[in-house]
Structure 1
């Protein structure tokens, strides 16, 4: 009978070792799959982050170009205003003349008339 018990115990131990080995293999495979999944997700996130940073950089460069263009247009407009519009002072003169400054040169107008249509 002891041989029979010994055989049952050995069979049980063998089946238990096989089950443990199978469980260990399954866990290792799941661990590898999880690592592979995590690496793929990290790569995807890194790619999206790089694309986002590139887009941000492109937009910042475009914004800087537009700001420079607007600044230059404003300066040109200010120059045109000073040339075309001039500045007029009030009629403080005894003769009622209006003094106009255009591009740094002063002009005096003694008489005004309406433009013909």
Structure 2
């Protein structure tokens, strides 16, 4: 009888070891799957971050180009205004003439009249 009990106990221990080994293998597989999933997600996030940074860099470069173009246009506008409007300076002349310089040439105006609308 004790041999039968020993055989039953040995079988139970063997089945328990097999179940434990299967559980360990299952946990190892789940751990590998989780690590694989984490690596894949990290790769996806890194790709999105790289794409975002590239897009940001392109936008910053475009903004810099537009700012440079606007500055150049503003400078050109100021030059045009200077040429078109000339520079006027009221000279303390005895005749009270107004001197205007347009494109480097000086003009004197002795009489003034109101502009008509």
**TM over 0.5, yes or no?**
yes
Mapped partners of 1:38, 1:10: distance in 2: 42
Gaps of 5+ in 2: none
1:48 is the counterpart of 2:45: no
Residue segments in structure 1 that go unaligned for 5+ positions in a row: none
Give the equivalent residue in structure 2 for 1:23.
Answer: 23
Give 4+ residue runs of structure 1 displaced > 4 Å after superposition. none
TM-score normalised by the chain length of structure 1: 0.90
Deviation at 1:91, TM superposition (A): 4.6
SS of residue matched to 2:90: coil
The offset of 1:78, in angstroms, is: 1.5
Deviations 1:76-107 (A, max 9, x none): 01210110111111252111110111122211
Alignment of 1:66-85 (within 5 A): 66-85=66-85
Q: 1:89 is paired with a residue of what secondary structure?
A: strand
Q: State the number of aligned residues.
A: 117
Shift of 1:38: 0.3
What is the CA–CA distance in structure 2 between the aligned matches of 1:89 and 1:22, rounded to whole Å? 99
| CA RMSD of superposed structures (Å) | 1.5
**2:25 is paired with a residue of what secondary structure?**
helix
Distance in 1 (CA, whole Å) between partners of 2:22 and 2:71 is 73
